[in-house]
């Protein structure tokens, strides 16, 4: 989709971007990250020709963009930057409809699109359409910025720290919404950020830059597990184990061979399960929800004609299967639990996460061993 | 004072009319030349320095000197007065428009460019609307200056309420002096008020909200 070939940009004596090669595939979410001044913004601006490279070339859909009209090119590429980019003298509707207006869409279509986009980014169209940027909070303006970039449904989006100026809570909320949005719209995105957590959250691939060069361009997992050099390792930070957990979904890592018992099963039935080698037993209610677990010692001390309900330890925490392992760990720490149940969307237990399982995952030497199991 | 106006009604009205005509023509001329010139200068990089230099230099020359310098070239009467007023008025209009356009936040322009606006669209749809408040502030300064400077036209034989002041001084006629001075001041206040309304009316709605 986008290909950078030996792209260099020199400002006087400063090599802002130095021999960069990148190939961004359709639908890919590529994050550019690196210390301040490393050339992220410059790299991005060369893609919509706000800056022209000093050497090398950039191809979009196979066509060299230096031969294309920059105005036409830019109208086909969504561009979102920090909130500063909204035009203060135009209403929110006019800001969002900026490119549609340039492309002379009919009025009615423009209006429909504005309403649609505002709803898409979680703002009530009737309330916000006729307001001005200065009447909005930082978070709301940021949403408008994203909506504006999506206005003509461009296949490519360039985003330069679009959530940079937000407080941490709003930021995280916007990030989560943005992930959902991207699942719907499936754009090819080049995203610049300073924030490693943000990068890991969004990226299909992360390109780490320093002094104008791409040091490593890899999947978040590879960046965390196999940093190319000390610079990447330092940049990722010492909490990379935790970061790694945030990359893995609970459902990918959980122990799935669990057995379930009902409270009115007999102890004999429970023993039978253990004899067959089952070690992960969850007690579930009639409604299907996990309600607790049983200990083997309790089981052995109890006569066989009694019921499971009598020895059930009625405390088990659950985590949804689409959460990350970091979320699972948080639940475990909060409840001081050695293991927790994983529930699907119907709250039925579908697996378990145990502390030993977590330890095993972070120490896995090989990347894909998880999937190979 | 009222007494004076009533008894010299015809004469007063002539002077008032001359004063207003002088000021209005100077402002009209200064605006219609100053604003396009400023826009042009903002678009042509090598004009930036000379314009700024000229603007700053011009503002430091006393008004009376400008008037005096005009007389040898334009003689006595309406022309040198108009020229002096024009030169005084064009500076704030030109400078405010120019710096206003130049100072529009870079991020806003970059965003507009990134969206695919042409340079002309950026100028007319972004830079100029955002500059309106500054532009009108310049106009306001120009108008108030021009109204008071027009009194000096009396020295150049241009005819204005300044005549009353000049005569008042020479004839030690308090009444006449006060009439000239007070009515000039009133005219300046009125002009200021009108420009204030204009500013309200022309400033884009979204900019009236304090950020
Ligand atoms: N227009 C310009 N003229 C001269 N030098 C520039 C220009 N734009 C960028 N630079 C320089 O190029 C280098 C890279 O800048 P760039 O804006 O791409 O960095 P960045 O990675 O986006 O940094 P940040 O994270 O601070 O936004 C810097 O050293 C910067 O000073
Ligand atoms: Mg940057």
Q: Which CATH number goes with the domain that contains B124?
A: 1.10.3720.10
CB A37 less than 6 A from any atom of ligand 1 = yes
Reported ipTM: the value is 0.82
DSSP A313: B
Q: What integer pLDDT is reported at residue A136 of this predicted model? A: 93
Q: What integer pLDDT is reported at residue A366 of this predicted model? A: 43
Q: Which two tokens stand for residue A183?
A: 């699942």
Task: Tell me the pLDDT band of B62, cut-offs 50, 70 and 90.
Answer: confident
**Structural domain span for residue B60:** 2-202
Question: Which residue among B113, B121, B211 places its CB closest to the CB of A134?
Answer: B211
Q: What integer pLDDT is reported at residue A373 of this predicted model? A: 34
Nearest-angstrom CA–CA distance, A199 and A247: 11
Q: What integer pLDDT is reported at residue A14 of this predicted model? A: 93
Tell me whether residue B211 is in a domain.
Answer: no
Are the C-beta atoms of A73 and A65 separated by less than 8 Å?
yes
DSSP A373: -
Q: Which atom belonging to ligand 1 lies closest to the Cα atom of A51?
A: 1
Per CATH, the number for A2-243 is: 3.40.50.300
Tell me whether residue B209 is in a domain.
Answer: no
Mean pLDDT for all residues in chain B: 90
Nearest-angstrom CA–CA distance, A352 and B30: 80
- For residue A161, is it left (φ>0), alpha (ψ between -120 and 50) or beta? left
* Mean pLDDT of the region B60-85: 85
Tell me whether residue B101 is in a domain.
Answer: yes
Nearest-angstrom CA–CA distance, B70 and A322: 82
DSSP SS3 for A23? strand
Q: Which ligand places an atom closest to the C-alpha of A159?
A: 2
Q: What integer pLDDT is reported at residue B115 of this predicted model? A: 93
Q: What integer pLDDT is reported at residue A205 of this predicted model? A: 96
Q: Which atom belonging to ligand 1 lies closest to the Cα atom of A43?
A: 18
Nearest-angstrom CA–CA distance, B103 and A96: 24
- The tokens 């991005």 sit on which residue? A44
Q: What integer pLDDT is reported at residue B113 of this predicted model? A: 94
Tell me whether residue B210 is in a domain.
Answer: no
DSSP A307: B
Alpha helices, H only, B44-115:
48-60, 63-74, 78-102, 106-115
Nearest-angstrom CA–CA distance, B119 and B43: 10
- Which helix (H) or strand (E) covers residue B151, if one does? none
Question: Is residue B8 pLDDT above 90, yes or no?
Answer: no
Contacts of B126 in chain A (CB under 8 A): 87
Q: What integer pLDDT is reported at residue A138 of this predicted model? A: 87
Nearest-angstrom CA–CA distance, A247 and B134: 51
A98/B117 Cβ within 8 A: yes
A75/B111 Cβ within 8 A: no
CB A38 less than 6 A from any atom of ligand 1 = yes
Q: What integer pLDDT is reported at residue A364 of this predicted model? A: 67
Q: What integer pLDDT is reported at residue A301 of this predicted model? A: 83
Are the C-beta atoms of A328 and A250 separated by less than 8 Å?
yes
- The tokens 């007023």 sit on which residue? B85
Tell me whether residue B104 is in a domain.
Answer: yes
* Mean pLDDT of the region B73-98: 90
CB A208 less than 6 A from any atom of ligand 1 = no
Q: Which among A81, A85, A103 is the top mutation candidate for probing chain B, defined by the most B β-carbons within 10 Å of its own β-carbon?
A: A85
Dihedral over Cα of A147, A149, A153, A159: its sign:
negative
CATH 3.40.50.300 fits A251-362, yes or no: no
Q: Which ligand places an atom closest to the C-alpha of A36?
A: 1
Alpha carbon of B117: minimum distance to chain A alpha carbons (Å): 7
Nearest one of A277, A286, A285 to A258, comparing CA atoms: A277
- Numbered residues of chain A with Cβ closer than 8 Å to any chain B Cβ: 45, 48, 50, 71-75, 79, 81-82, 84-91, 98-99, 102, 132-135, 148, 158
Nearest-angstrom CA–CA distance, A62 and A45: 18
Nearest one of A144, A150, A159, A140 to A198, comparing CA atoms: A159
Q: Which atom belonging to ligand 1 lies closest to the Cα atom of A209?
A: 21
Q: What integer pLDDT is reported at residue A190 of this predicted model? A: 96
Are the C-beta atoms of A7 and A46 separated by less than 8 Å?
yes
Low-confidence ranges of chain A (pLDDT < 50): 366-373
Question: Is residue B48 pLDDT above 50, yes or no?
Answer: yes
φ, ψ of residue B61 to 5 degrees: the values are -80, 130
The strand pairing partners of A284, in sequence order, are A290
Q: Percent of chain B at pLDDT above 70? A: 100
Nearest-angstrom CA–CA distance, A253 and A373: 10
pTM (2 decimals)?
0.78
Are the C-beta atoms of A269 and A261 separated by less than 8 Å?
yes
Domains of chain B: total: 1
Other Cβ atoms closer than 10 A to A297: 9
- Which pairing describes strands A188-193 and A29-33: parallel, antiparallel, or unpaired? parallel
* CA A317 vs CA A333, A353, A360: distances in Å: 11, 10, 21
Domain map of chain A by residue range? Answer: 2-243, 251-362
Query: Regarding predicted confidence, which is higher, A16 or B68?
Result: A16
pLDDT digits (tens, 9 = 90+) for B123-140: 999 999 999 999 999 999
Q: What integer pLDDT is reported at residue B188 of this predicted model? A: 94
Nearest one of A28, A158, A51 to B115, comparing CA atoms: A158
């Amino acid at each position: 989709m986008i290909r950078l070939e030996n792209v260099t940009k020199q400002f006087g004596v400063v090599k802002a971007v130095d021999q960069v090669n990148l190939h961004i595939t359709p639908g890919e979410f590529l994050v550019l990250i690196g210390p301040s001044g490393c050339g992220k913004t410059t790299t991005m601006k060369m893609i919509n020709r706000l800056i022209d490279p000093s050497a090398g070339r950039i191809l979009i859909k196979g066509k060299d963009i230096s031969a294309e009209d920059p105005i036409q090119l830019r109208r086909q590429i969504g561009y979102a930057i920090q909130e500063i980019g909204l035009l203060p003298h135009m209403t929110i509707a006019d800001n969002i409809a900026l490119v549609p207006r340039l492309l002379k869409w009919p009025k009615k279509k423009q209006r429909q699109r504005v309403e649609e986009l505002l709803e898409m980014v979680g703002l009530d169209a009737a309330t916000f359409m006729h307001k001005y940027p200065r009447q909005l909070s930082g978070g709301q303006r940021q949403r408008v910025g994203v909506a504006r970039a999506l206005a003509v449904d461009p296949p490519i989006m360039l985003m330069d720290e679009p959530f940079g100026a937000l407080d941490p809570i709003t930021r995280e909320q916007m990030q989560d919404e943005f992930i959902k949005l991207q699942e719907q719209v499936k754009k090819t995105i080049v995203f610049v950020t300073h924030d490693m957590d943000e990068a890991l959250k969004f990226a299909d691939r992360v390109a780490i830059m320093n002094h104008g060069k791409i040091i490593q361009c890899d999947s978040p997992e590879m960046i965390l597990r196999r940093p190319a050099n000390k610079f990447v390792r330092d940049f990722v930070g010492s909490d990379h184990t935790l970061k790694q957990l945030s990359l893995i979904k609970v459902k990918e890592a959980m122990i799935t061979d669990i057995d379930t018992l009902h409270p009115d099963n007999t102890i004999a039935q429970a023993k039978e399960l253990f004899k067959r080698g089952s070690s992960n037993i969850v007690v579930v209610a009639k409604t299907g929800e996990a309600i607790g677990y049983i200990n083997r010692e309790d089981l052995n001390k109890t006569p066989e004609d009694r019921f499971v309900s009598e020895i059930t330890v009625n405390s088990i925490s659950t985590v949804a299967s689409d959460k990350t392992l970091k979320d699972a760990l948080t639940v475990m720490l909060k409840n001081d639990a050695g293991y927790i149940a994983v529930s699907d969307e119907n709250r039925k237990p579908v697996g378990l996460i145990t502390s030993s399982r977590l330890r095993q995952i972070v120490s896995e030497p090989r990347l894909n061993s998880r999937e190979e199991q | 004072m009222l007494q004076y106006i009533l008894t010299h009604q015809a004469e007063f009205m002539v002077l008032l009319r001359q004063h207003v005509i002088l000021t209005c023509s100077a402002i009209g001329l200064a605006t219609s030349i100053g604003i396009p010139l400023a826009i042009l200068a903002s678009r042509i990089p090598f004009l930036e320095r000379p314009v700024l230099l000229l603007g700053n230099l011009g503002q430091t020359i006393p008004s009376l000197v400008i008037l005096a310098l005009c007389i040898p070239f334009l003689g006595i009467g309406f022309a040198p007065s108009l020229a002096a007023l024009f030169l005084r008025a064009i500076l704030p209009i030109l400078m405010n428009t120019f710096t206003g356009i130049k100072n529009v936040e870079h991020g806003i322009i970059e965003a507009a460019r990134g969206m695919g606006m042409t340079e002309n669209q950026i100028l007319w749809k972004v830079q100029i609307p955002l500059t309106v408040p500054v532009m009108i502030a310049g106009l306001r300064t120009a108008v108030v200056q021009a109204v008071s400077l027009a009194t000096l036209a009396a020295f150049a034989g241009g005819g204005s309420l300044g005549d009353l002041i000049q005569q008042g001084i020479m004839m030690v006629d308090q009444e006449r002096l006060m009439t000239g001075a007070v009515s000039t001041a009133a005219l300046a206040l009125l002009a200021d008020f009108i420009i204030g309304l204009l500013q309200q009316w022309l400033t884009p709605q979204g900019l009236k909200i304090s950020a």
